[in-house]
Amino acid sequence: MAVVGTVAVAGALCGLAVFSKSSYPTITVQLPANRAAGYTWVCSVKPEGSFVTVDTRYAPENVDDPDGGGVETFVLQSRSQGTSQVSFACVDGDDGTIDSTATYEFTTDGSTIQSSGTTADISDALMAPFTAGGASESAA
């Protein structure tokens, strides 16, 4: 049985967490993205090895406009008990600067993962496709 939770930051969708029960439980994090503009999300974990990435995928928000932004999905699997910090940085492929960040605190207890805190600083450029009246990155 899975329990679904939504994480909202600044009134816009910045993550979706799926908590599952298994020997190695997984959690899914979704972040606004724009691969067409050269942005790439990278993940780091503390303590190292407490979570591993088992899948990543990107889906454009609008299939008719793949350059207009979309959602980057990370499926993470817990490999240890206790509290872990999972941080994401969105790197601009043109100059290597960090455009946006999101940090989650997850606690694994037995075969259950619980989210106990989220902080995020998501740029307007990444959020534009998700906000009412927002222009896409490709239209700027």
Written as one string, the DSSP assignment of 31-50 is: EEE-GGGTEEEEEEEESTTS
Predicted confidence band of residue 132 (pLDDT cuts 50, 70, 90):
low
Predicted confidence band of residue 22 (pLDDT cuts 50, 70, 90):
low
Kindly state whether residue 14 falls inside one of the protein's structural domains.
Answer: yes
Kindly state whether residue 136 falls inside one of the protein's structural domains.
Answer: no
103 token code pair: 């940090």
CATH number, domain at 108? 2.60.40.2020
pTM of the model: 0.77
pLDDT reported for residue 5:
34
Q: Please give the tally of structural domains in the chain.
A: 1
Q: Say which residues have a Cβ less than 8 Å from residue 103's Cβ, sequence separation at least 6.
A: 85, 86, 87, 88, 118, 119, 120
pLDDT reported for residue 21:
54
Kindly state whether residue 96 falls inside one of the protein's structural domains.
Answer: yes
* C-beta separation of 40 from 92 below 8 A: no
Residue 47, preceding peptide bond in cis (omega within 30° of 0): yes
Kindly state whether residue 140 falls inside one of the protein's structural domains.
Answer: no
Q: Is the pLDDT of residue 59 over 70?
A: yes
Q: Is the pLDDT of residue 33 over 70?
A: yes
pLDDT reported for residue 19:
53
The pLDDT tens digits for 94-109 are 899 999 999 999 999 9
Task: Find the mean pLDDT for residues 60-77.
Answer: 88
Residue 108, CB-side half-sphere exposure with 13 Å CA sphere: 23
Predicted confidence band of residue 139 (pLDDT cuts 50, 70, 90):
very low
User: Would you give the DSSP letter of residue 58?
Assistant: E
Kindly state whether residue 138 falls inside one of the protein's structural domains.
Answer: no
Residues belonging to the chain = 140
Kindly state whether residue 139 falls inside one of the protein's structural domains.
Answer: no
pLDDT reported for residue 20:
52
Kindly state whether residue 55 falls inside one of the protein's structural domains.
Answer: yes
CA distances from 37 to 4, 13, 139 (A): 31, 20, 11
Which residue segment(s) compose the domain that 15 sits in? Answer: 3-130
